[in-house]
Amino acid sequence: MKPPRKLHIKSYGCQMNVYDAQRMVDTLAREGFVETGSVDDADLVILNTCHIREKASEKVYSELGRLRAVKDEAARNGRQMRIAVAGCVAQAEGEEIIRRAPTVDVVVGPQSYHHLPQLLARATSHGRALETEFPVEDKFGFLPAPKPEAIRARGISSFVTVQEGCDKFCTFCVVPYTRGAEVSRPAAKIVDDVKRLADHGVREITLIGQNVNAYHGDGPDGRSWPLGRLLRRLAEIPGIARLRYSTSHPRDVDDPLIEAHRDLPALMPFVHLPVQSGSDRILAAMNRKHTAADYLGVIDRFRAARQDVAFSSDFIVGFPGETEEDFAATLALVTQIGYAGAYSFKYSPRPGTPAANMRETVSATEMDERLVRLQELIDGQQSAFNKAAIGRTVDVLFERAARNPGQIVGRTAYLQPAHVMASPDIIGQVLPVTIQSLERYSLLGKLAAPATTPAPPSPSQMTIGA
Sign of the dihedral through C-alpha 279, 280, 282, 287 = positive
Determine the Cα–Cα distance for residues 165 and 217; give it in Å rounded to an integer: 13
Contact between 210 and ligand SF4 by CB under 6 A: the answer reads: yes
Q: Which is nearer to ligand SF4, 8 or 288 (CB)?
A: 288
Q: Kindly give the pairing relationship between strand 442-447 and strand 430-439.
A: antiparallel
Residue 345 binds: one of ligand 5AD, ligand SF4, none (C-beta under 5 to 8 A by kind): ligand 5AD
Residue 283 interacts with ligand SF4 (CB under 6 A)? no
Burial class (CB in 10 A: 0-12, 13-18, 19+), 318: buried
- Binding residue for ligand SF4, selected from 70, 85, 108, 166, defined by CB under 6 A: 166
Q: At what angle do helices 292-305 and 255-263 cross, to 10 degrees?
A: 30
Does 314 contact ligand 5AD by CB under 6 A?
yes
Q: Which of the listed partners (ligand 5AD, ligand SF4, none) does 53 bind, with a CB threshold of 5 to 8 Å by partner kind?
A: ligand 5AD
- Which range of residues in 19-27, 216-224, 344-352, 408-416 is near ligand 5AD by CB under 6 A? 344-352
Among 168, 195, 200, 346, which residue interacts with ligand SF4 (rule: CB under 6 A)? 168
Residue 316 contacts ligand 5AD per CB under 6 A: yes
Contact between 370 and ligand 5AD per CB under 6 A: no
Q: Does 249 bind ligand SF4 (CB under 6 A)?
A: yes
Closer by beta carbon to ligand SF4, 33 or else 319: 319
Residue whose CB is less far from ligand 5AD, 92 or 194: 92
Q: Residue 249 touches which of ligand 5AD, ligand SF4, none (CB < 5 to 8 A by kind)?
A: ligand SF4
* Rounded least distance, CB 370 to ligand 5AD, Å: 13
Structural contact between residues 341 and 311, judged by C-beta atoms closer than 8 angstroms:
no
Q: Which of 129, 175, 316, 317 binds ligand SF4 (CB under 6 A)?
A: 175
Residues 262-301 that bind ligand 5AD (CB under 6 A): 274, 276
Report the alpha-carbon distance of residue 77 to residue 41 in Å, rounded.
11
Q: Binding of ligand SF4 at residue 169 (CB under 6 A)?
A: yes
Give 3-state DSSP helix, strand, coil % of the chain, rounded to 5.
40, 25, 40
Coil, helix or strand at residue 463:
coil
Residue 60 contacts by C-beta under 8 Å, 6 or more apart in sequence?
A: 47, 49, 85, 89, 97
Closer CB to ligand 5AD, 52 or 451, in the complex: 52
**Residue 161 CB partners (closer than 8 Å, separation 6+):** 16, 19, 20, 140, 185, 207, 208, 209
Instruction: Check: CB of residue 170 under 8 Å from CB of residue 122.
Output: no
Q: Applying CB under 6 A, does 246 fall inside the site for ligand SF4?
A: no
Q: Does 15 bind ligand 5AD (CB under 6 A)?
A: no
Residue 29 binds ligand SF4, judged by CB under 6 A: no
> Interface with ligand 5AD includes 53 (CB under 6 A)?
yes
100: closest CA among 138, 58, 139, 137?
58
Q: Which stretch binds ligand SF4 (CB under 6 A): 163-171, 183-191, 201-209, 296-304?
A: 163-171
How many helices (H) and strands (E) are present in the chain, helices listed first?
13, 21
To which H or E segment does residue 71 belong? helix 56-76
Q: What are the residues binding ligand 5AD (CB under 6 A)?
A: 52-53, 172-173, 274, 276, 314, 316, 345, 347-348, 350
Q: What are the residues binding ligand SF4 (CB under 6 A)?
A: 166, 168-170, 173, 175-176, 210-211, 249
